[in-house]
Amino acid sequence: MTAPASSDTILLIEDTPSLQMIYAAALGRAGFAVAACGTAAEGMAAFRRHKSTVVLLDLMLPDRSGLDVMHDLLAAQPQTRVIVITANGSINKAVEMMRAGAHEFLVKPFDDQRLIAAVENARKALRHSPADPKGPADSSVPAPFIGQSRAMRAVYAKIGSVARSMASVFITGESGTGKELCAEAVHQQSARAAGPFIALNCGAIPVDLLESEVFGHLRGSFTGAISDKLGAAAAADGGTLFLDEICEMDLNLQTKLLRFLQTSTITPVGATKPRKVDVRIICATNRNPLEEVRRGRFREDLYYRLHVVPIHLPPLRERDDDVNEIAERLVVQMAREEGRDFVGIAPRVRDLFRSLPWPGNVRQLINVLRNVVVLHDGPMVTADMLPPDLLGDRPVPVAHNGERPALTLGDLTGRTLAEIERIVIEDALIRHGDSIPRAARELDVSASTLYRKRDAWDKAKRPQ
Amino acid sequence: MPAIDPAILAQLFAMGGDSLRVALCAQLREDFTRLHGAVASADATEAARATHEVKGLAGTVGALRLAELARRLDSMGADLAAEARLVLVAGLRSEIDSVLQALTMTEGSICA
């Protein structure tokens, strides 16, 4: 097959001649110029010749693996959209391909409409892609995330890698870890950033209404349907649909969602004709999705459709000093909002924050800080400002409650007077929940003395 | 159930004119004839590869019974005992024969 030499030429690398003929005919009929090849070597030569930006690539080629070919294609021209073609049995391989940068995968057999939709989606993504796309390993912090811990840097890199693909993203993580922020970051870095981002919490909507919320309905299709309703899937056309708490979705609706993912069409409740939409799906759960599959509460085929690129968000307690970076940033922001003059977090509170388990993660931290900023004034957040129930979560008690051994003379023997003074003051501060005024009263010194001493110790700790 | 679903084949033929139909019929016969031999190859890798190819091709052209047989053989793969494998391969080849017959008849009706 001869094709015009332009980057608009769709490159088809498929080794079964009949299938090559069928796919080329379908694409040709839809108005695409096609260069068809039967081997990896021919395909790479045609790619260099045509500089194709959309490539249909069969996974099993006679001379090389599709994965290797895709690496070469993306290395030569990173903006290339590779649509992988595979048979059912190689679904795991297809997942591997998506992770390696494939734009989409098609499972044989598929009809001409599905093929054309995939190619059109790829071309649309190219039109929306930035002139200088970020590389797959870009690990800069995507807004509005805060934190540079190793665990989060890995998450940022994954967001950067997956954003340029059409692959479904499955976000897992405890409540409050920022799953929706993650979904938004993927959307914002993708070629669809100019399109809508629609978030739907499957757990917050009654089962009876969820189908209508996702796929929409026509007026009169059921009692109470007084007007046509555009569902979330249609509202997200050209953008991203984020389905939070996906494991809460009813099994019947899961079947419809699967059909939607397979055909890219939606049929609103009460409608007879399906409508084609171009939507990228990102979903999230705070459960273990595979366990939900084992328990029969989540469809296995839907799981494999959605679980193409998993992103796990670490809990706050596993994010090193991110807790303090977030707290410092938020407390200043909240102070501005509430008309307070907080400028930061006291060193003792920083230590305390690092030691807390934070079962509610960032959401809990935000609530704690809001509580402090509303009820107190600055300039620093000190331990005595923290809500008492927060201290109850501490794994290592710092208040003198009997679990912590009292200071004995043995602790002080052999130390200098300055060291003994510091040990005694710090012990008093711990027993009083880091409250300097209360510790000062017990030690019968002025609070300013303790502030001065602590500042001196902090200064001595800091690098010169 | 016919060896090839006529509705699916008709959809494929509708993508072009007579020349495409004739060329596609000829190419399908050539591919299925090649695969008829390859699925019984003594080289296990070649046989597995051919079975995988049959699965994708048969499903696309509406040879649904053949696609299912190929899917079964492809998924069981190396776990099959030699004798069971022979039985399945024989069934697969017999079904490829049926598909080839159906294609010959279709080709005849196009050219008539």
Q: Which CATH class is domain A316-396?
A: mainly alpha
Residues forming a β-bridge with A107: A86
What confidence tens digit (pLDDT) does each residue in A265-299 have? 888 888 788 888 888 889 999 888 888 888 888 89
Judge: B31–A18 Cβ closer than 8 Å, yes or no.
Answer: yes
In chain B, the domains with their CATH numbers are 6-111 (1.20.120)
What is d(CA A283, CA A200) in angstroms, rounded to the nearest whole number?
A: 9
Mean pLDDT along residues A126-133: 51
Whether residue A243 contacts residue A283, with contact meaning beta carbons closer than 8 Å, is answered with yes
Indicate if the pLDDT at residue A403 is higher than 50. no
First to last CA, chain B: 25
Give the residue extent of every domain in chain A.
10-128, 150-314, 316-396, 399-464
What confidence tens digit (pLDDT) does each residue in B39-93 have? 999 998 899 999 999 999 999 999 999 999 998 898 887 677 888 888 999 999 9
Confidence band, pLDDT 50/70/90 cuts, at residue A410:
low
What confidence tens digit (pLDDT) does each residue in A216-232 have? 877 777 776 677 777 88
* Chains A & B: contacts with CB separation below 8 Å: 62
Residues of B with a Cβ under 8 Å from any A Cβ are 11-12, 15-16, 20, 23-24, 27-28, 30-31, 49, 52-53, 55-57, 59-61, 67, 71, 74-75
**What tokens were used for A113?**
């409409």
What confidence tens digit (pLDDT) does each residue in A315-324 have? 999 998 899 9
- Residue to substitute from A15, A61, A105, A108, interface B, most B β-carbons within 10 A: A108
Respond yes or no on whether ipTM tops 0.85.
yes
Does A22 contact chain B (CB < 8 Å)?
yes
- Residue to substitute from A20, A22, A113, interface B, most B β-carbons within 10 A: A22
Indicate if the pLDDT at residue A463 is higher than 80. no
Quote the pLDDT of residue A398. Answer: 40
Quote the pLDDT of residue A133. Answer: 38
Does A112 contact chain B (CB < 8 Å)?
yes
What is d(CA A95, CA A451) in angstroms, rounded to the nearest whole number?
A: 58
**What tokens were used for B14?**
């509708």
**What tokens were used for A155?**
């998450």
Judge: B55–A22 Cβ closer than 8 Å, yes or no.
Answer: no
Type of residue numbered A449? T
Our CA-based measurement puts residue A42 at a distance from the nearest CA of chain B, in whole angstroms, of 19
Judge: B56–A25 Cβ closer than 8 Å, yes or no.
Answer: no
Residues forming a β-bridge with A197: A240
- Residue to substitute from B25, B57, B65, interface A, most A β-carbons within 10 A: B57
What is d(CA B96, CA A23) in angstroms, rounded to the nearest whole number?
A: 22
Q: Which CATH class is domain A150-314?
A: alpha beta
Quote the pLDDT of residue A132. Answer: 38
Our CA-based measurement puts residue A258 at a distance from the nearest CA of chain B, in whole angstroms, of 20
What is d(CA B38, CA A89) in angstroms, rounded to the nearest whole number?
A: 19
Smallest Cβ–Cβ distance between A19 and the set B30, B49, B57 belongs to B57
Residues A225, A230, A232, CA angle at the centre, nearest 5°? 120
Q: State which residue of chain A sits closest to B19, comparing Cα positions.
A: A25
What is d(CA A171, CA A183) in angstroms, rounded to the nearest whole number?
A: 8
The structural architecture, per CATH, of the domain A10-128 is: 3-Layer(aba) Sandwich (3.40)
Quote the pLDDT of residue A92. Answer: 64
Q: Would A10-128 and A150-314 be classified into the same CATH topology?
A: yes
Quote the pLDDT of residue A269. Answer: 81
Top pLDDT among A220 and A390 is at A390
| Segments of chain B assigned E as strands | none
Smallest Cβ–Cβ distance between A17 and the set B27, B55, B75 belongs to B27
A380: left (phi over 0), alpha (psi -120 to 50) or beta: beta
Top pLDDT among A224 and A191 is at A191
